[in-house]
Copies of this chain bind each other. A is one copy, B any other.
Amino acid sequence: MYRSRTCGELRIENLNESIVLAGWVQKARKMGGMIFVDLRDRYGVTQLVFNQEVNAELCDKAAKIGREWVIQIKGTVMERSNKNKNIPTGDIEINVAELNVLNAAETPPFTIEEDTDGGDDLRMKYRYLDLRRGNVRANLELRHKMAFETRRYLDEHRFLEVETPVLIGSTPEGARDFVVPSRMNPGQFYALPQSPQTLKQLLMVAGFDRYFQIVKCFRDEDLRADRQPEFTQIDCEMSFIEQEDILQMFEGLTKHLFKVIKGLDLSDFPRMTYADAMKYYGSDKPDIRFEMKFVELKGLTTGKNFAVFDDSEYVGAICAKGCADYTRKQLDALTDFVKRPQIGAKGLVYVKYESDGSLKSSVDKFYSQEDLKLWAERCNAQPGDLILIICGATEKAQKQLSELRLEMGSQLGLRDKTKYCCLWVVDFPLLEEDEELGRFFAKHHPFTSPKPEDISLLDSNPGTVRANAYDLVINGVEVGGGSIRIYDSELQKKMFGVLGFTEEKAQAQFGFLMNAFKYGAPPHGGIAFGLDRLVSIFAGLDSIRDCIAFPKNNSGRDVMLDAPSTIEQEQLDELNLIVK
């Protein structure tokens, strides 16, 4: 061992102890005949002192060391005259008697500090230096702790972690697979799992009863800021349960994590149907840290010759408390916000409920004070409030209003990152219609069970069938989702039919699962959490990238490793492949 102690643990109680420390030089500064060095390791920072008068030779040696050098020192713990209350070791310093340089270091391309001067690209290229920064390391420490506590909770509840294979078969349904050519089976390919969905269902058929796995999954999709080609799921499945059991078990897990990681006792999570979530928040993952629910005004707005509203399927409002004093400029900015192509609203109508009780709107030409009063009443608005209205085709307008609601929540400071509001969204639709293709897709996946009372609608009106499917939403972010599965091979066959699979195609892709169901499948269901997202919420991060040790950029590249890259011709030949 190159040290007897870490740089984070020495206190005033250790006074006069002889110790050995090793770590990186955070900074070194000269003051008169003294040199002060901040020595850093994973556990903290400790101040070292070299004194010219006591040992000139040693002091000269210390004068040569630079930032990020790796050194080992032997010395004695002394009380500081100038205490630093900001760090746990701030009461002491080390009077150094011996200095060994373990490794010199070139000057790093950016500063190793929480507030670094390094840009994104540079930090990713030198990720091993970026990871030295305390805040980045803290994210990964948090990730370790969350994964460990997840395992502890699930182990206590008799879940077994079972590793499922990474080299599996390709399923063209859903997102695009990454594939792996097989040298031993020329012309054939493995696929990397998008999730262990079918395998965990097979484990239920196998009687494993309670399964989980913290597991890498893969999707070859065009990447957005917050997506990675490889990501990690907390994947879970249970047998002989109903939806309520899953919600209870995993609400318990979530509460456990908040308790042990953040010391928070969360109360029971509210539940909301998908239908209500769309109606009141225009989103299947509402941020319920603040109210500002949608209010439908269609009935109150028609027949007053305002064609824009009259021709709209939907007219919806939100009420922004205390915003009646918004300036022209602020209102224009909001209009610009909803008209951005990503949101796509045609415009924004406002009604200011002035403090004197009068109502002032951008549609005064068409609506009287009495009309506006009725709107305000329905919106539960008070003098001083601002009503914001969007109209259009229902689904689109609700989505636009949802973006506006979130923006207003941010502007009003209602989206505090240290406040956590968890929500179960339930009763998702089973199917989603692709109007262009004229066919239905599984909203969740083809194994999701319809609600028993809706099964009869599968033939007559598939779009209205609700599923036993649920999402866990925290602060407007979907962190987990799952469903009760179909466990009857006849119903599964019917489901594939509704999804437009021929029997041959269903057999070719999922035959192993349907066959398995013939040998005694138990009722089962499960859930999967996105670990990256869950950690990023706990860490208060805007991107999942900062809680991943070695993330890829938006082109799927690891710029540190310079991967992917070309491979040697010999490798291609062995795989029987030609690059076009």
Contacts and interface: CB of A to CB of B under 8 A. Distances in A.
B103 A558 contact: no
B561 A168 contact: yes
A193 to B, nearest CB: 11
Given A188-B565, A189-B567, A558-B169, A216 B163 contact: yes
Q: How large is the interface on A (under 10, 10 to 19, 20 to 34, 35 or more residues)?
A: 35 or more
Contact of A188 (B180, B184, B189, B564): B564
A194 to B, nearest CB: 13
A207 B169 contact: no
B580 A240 contact: no
Contact of A144 (B69, B162, B560): B162
Contacts of A43: 209
Interface stretch (A289-297, A391-399, A549-557): A549-557
B206 A575 contact: no
Which among A106, A169, A240 has the highest number of chain B CB atoms within 10 Å? A240
Contacts of A22: 240, 522
A128 B203 contact: yes
Interface string A457-499: 0000000000000000000000000000001100000000000
Nearest to A214: B163
Contacts of A72: 240
A151 interface: yes
Nearest to A531: B163
A165 B72 CA distance: 32
B205 A169 contact: no
A315 interface: no
Contact of A519 (B108, B216, B218): B108
Nearest to A532: B163
Residue in A3, A488, A519 with the greatest tally of chain B CB atoms within 10 Å: A519
Given A487-B103, A521-B103, A128 B516 contact: yes
Nearest to A580: B576
A183 to B, nearest CB: 6
A401 interface: no
Interface in A187-211: 187-192, 199, 202-203, 205-210
B164 A512 contact: no
A42 B208 contact: yes
Contacts of A17: none
A356 interface: no
Contacts of A58: none
Contacts of A432: none
B189 A565 contact: yes
A549 B185 contact: no
Interface string A26-64: 000000000000001111000000000000000000000
Interface in A97-149: 102-106, 108, 126-132, 137, 140-141, 143-144, 147-148
Contacts of A222: 184
Given A512-B560, A565-B189, A578-B577, A140 B162 contact: yes
A579 interface: yes
A417 interface: no
Q: Can you tell how many copies of this chain the complex includes?
A: 2
A531 B2 CA distance: 30
B208 A131 contact: yes
Interface string A223-259: 1000001101000000011100100000000000000
Nearest to A140: B162
Nearest to A578: B578
A437 interface: no
Contacts of A555: 184-185
Interface of A is mostly: loop
Contacts of A342: none
B549 A518 contact: no
A42 B210 CA distance: 9
B565 A170 contact: yes
A323 interface: no
A13 interface: no
A185 B128 contact: no
Interface stretch (A75-83, A171-179, A362-370, A441-449): A171-179
A434 interface: no
Contacts of A190: 563-564
A580 B579 contact: no
Contact of A147 (B3, B161, B549, B568): B161
A180 B179 contact: yes
A103 B567 contact: no
A253 to B, nearest CB: 16
A549 B103 contact: no
A155 interface: yes
A70 interface: yes
Given A140-B162, A230-B165, A566-B189, A580 B580 contact: no
Given A140-B162, A164-B550, A166-B192, 9 more contacts: A2-B522, A42-B210, A131-B203, A140-B160, A141-B160, A184-B223, A186-B580, A190-B564, A577-B579
23 contacts: A1-B242, A2-B522, A3-B240, A22-B522, A70-B521, A103-B520, A126-B519, A128-B203, A131-B207, A132-B206, A132-B207, A140-B162, A141-B160, A143-B162, A166-B230, A167-B552, A169-B564, A176-B183, A180-B180, A187-B580, A188-B565, A191-B567, A203-B549
